[in-house]
Amino acid sequence: MKKLILKTESYQYIEESFRQWLDVLGFCSGSIYNMPSIAREFFYFLENSGVTNIRNLEQIHIKRYYDHISTRANQRRGGGLSKNYINKQVQGVEKLLEYLHHKGLHTLPTTGIRLLKLERSEITIITPEQAKMLYKATETEPDNIKQEATNSRDRAMLTIFYGCGLRRNEGEHLDVGDINFDTGTLHVKRGKNYKQRFVPFNKTNSNHLQQYVYDYRPILLKGKTEGRLFISVKGRPMTGGSLYCRLKQLQQKTDDTELQQKTLTLHALRHSIATHLLQNGMPLEKISRFLGHSSLESTQIYTHLVQTH
């Protein structure tokens, strides 16, 4: 919402201080940009509703704003806004109110709005044996040092999305500095609903990551300075799309026809590790924390997957 101009100076100040607060807390660059933009759209709506002092905010104003974004047109594509976009708006306002509460405005209301339920597509999972096949596909005899480096990077990719169960967006925006080898944890700063969490990894995963970070990532970087963990052969940060393409290539390198025919995605690796952990007896509560779910309801789907597979 770059075109929205706020007239109220206090709203302008809150937007900028909100941005600085997110930065200090260590949120990723995407969240530091997006959430203040959501705040600006919210403030713009309040201005046009005659509310120019945040202390006068009432829950009815938030409800009217929700009705507004639920019915307004998509300015880029036409039609209405997606459920995911509307949920992001609500979550952004919730985080803004959390910030204002932190600044001492304890009388401000909560949103009082439940997030829209998104439709689930059919979930694909792989077996533990098929996961081993994907790792084995990264062990092809390299022709040169660059190929050796990409093999190591691909193992690190499997480690992040399968071994650590990160979402596609979380893994794409992971920085080298987010990995603590001393404690064996990843700091996920760009989690779903703008939540952060720490994810543990075991010794095998640590070995894969350390080999890539210290031995092969510098080869791909070619002397450049870059914080992102995953680097392409051109020395640039990889997108979620390019990581997905690498996964599909590994899938086709395996000798398993059943695996080759599966609709395999980075998120399918996350579903798979959750299912395998549950099969191995890990309590649902621990899996929920591992995945960064807001509630056990989201994690309970894996009990059905275990029964099915």
CATH of the domain at 260: 1.10.443.10
Residues 132, 77 within the same domain: no
* 112 lies in some domain: no
* 206 lies in some domain: yes
The span from the first CA to the last CA of the chain, in angstroms, equals 45
Give pLDDT, residue 23.
86
Active-site residue (options: 167, 190, 217, 271): 167
271 is catalytic: no
293 is catalytic: yes
Residues 302, 176 within the same domain: yes
Active-site residue (options: 173, 246, 267, 271): 267
SS (H, E, C) the chain: CCCCCCCCHHHHHHHHHHHHHHHHCCCCHHHHHHHHHHHHHHHHHHHHCCCCCHHHCCHHHHHHHHHHHHHCECCCCCCECCHHHHHHHHHHHHHHHHHHHHCCCCCCCCCCCCCCCCCCCCCCCCCHHHHHHHHHHCCCCCCCHHHHHHHHHHHHHHHHHHHCCCCHHHHHCCEHHHEECCCCEEEECCCHHHCCEEEECCHHHHHHHHHHHHHHHHHHHCCCCCCECCECCCCCECCHHHHHHHHHHHHHHCCCHHHHCCCCCHHHHHHHHHHHHHHCCCCHHHHHHHHCCCCHHHHCHHHHHHHHC
* 274 lies in some domain: yes
Give pLDDT, residue 240.
87
Give pLDDT, residue 190.
74
302 is catalytic: yes
* 110 lies in some domain: no
Residues 37, 76 within the same domain: yes
Active-site residue (options: 192, 228, 262, 289): 192
Give pLDDT, residue 309.
57
pTM strictly above 0.75:
no
Task: Provide the domain count of the chain.
Answer: 2
Residues 283, 152 within the same domain: yes
* 239 lies in some domain: yes
Taking 70 as the pLDDT cut, the residues of the chain under it are 1-2, 28-29, 75-78, 118-121, 304-309
Give pLDDT, residue 305.
66
Task: Compute the distance between CA of residue 27 and CA of residue 45 in angstroms, rounded to an integer.
Answer: 26
Residues 91, 153 within the same domain: no
309 is catalytic: no
| Helix pair 83-102, 59-71: axis angle to 10 deg | 160
Distances (CA, A) of 167 to 92, 121, 162, 273, 293: 20, 16, 10, 12, 11
* 116 lies in some domain: no
- Segments forming the whole domain that contains residue 209: 128-308
* 78 lies in some domain: yes
Residues 149, 77 within the same domain: no
* 194 lies in some domain: yes
